Amino acid sequence: GAVVSQHPSWVICKSGTSVKIECRSLDFQATTMFWYRQFPKQSLMLMATSNEGSKATYEQGVEKDKFLINHASLTLSTLTVTSAHPEDSSFYICSAGGGNNQPQHFGDGTRLSIL
């Protein structure tokens, strides 16, 4: 079945550092990918829609200059958390569609911890 891969699975870094997370569709092409953030004991919160070859669409309240999204190819979208601070610590998850009338598939997430 369709597989979505995220890298890294976890990252710990100092405050002020920029962190890049990759999301790849391994066996299908994805013109659209989605990025979510999840805090402990809470549901997934959609951050933005990543569109191949064009600008991402951000949900209300999500800072586009803070969370940079690049979708340069049909199999790769990246999320860069710029100048990360402790409040950015969270679990970040991406998803991509698997085909017509097929469900979206999710990556295994990236645990980001900012010290």
Partner 1 sequence: LAKTTQPISMDSYEGQEVNITCSHNNIATNDYITWYQQFPSQGPRFIIQGYKTKVKNEVASLFIPADRKSSTLSLPRVSLSDTAVYYCLVALNRDDKIIFGKGTRLHILP
Please state the length of the chain: 115
Which residues sit opposite 46 in a β-bridge? 36
Partners of residue 4 on adjacent β-strands: 25
The CB-of-83 to partner 1 minimum distance in angstroms stands at 25
Query: Rounded to 5 degrees, what angle do the CA atoms 28, 97, 10 make?
Result: 85
Does the footprint of partner 1 cover residue 16 (CB under 8 A)? no
**β-bridge pairing 10-13 and 110-114:** parallel
Name the minimum Å distance from CB 32 to partner 1: 4
* Residue from 79, 90, 95, 114 binding partner 1 (CB under 8 A): 95
Instruction: Tell me: does residue 73 bind partner 1 (CB under 8 A).
Output: no
Q: Within 33-62, which residues bind partner 1 (CB under 8 A)?
A: 34, 36, 43-46, 49
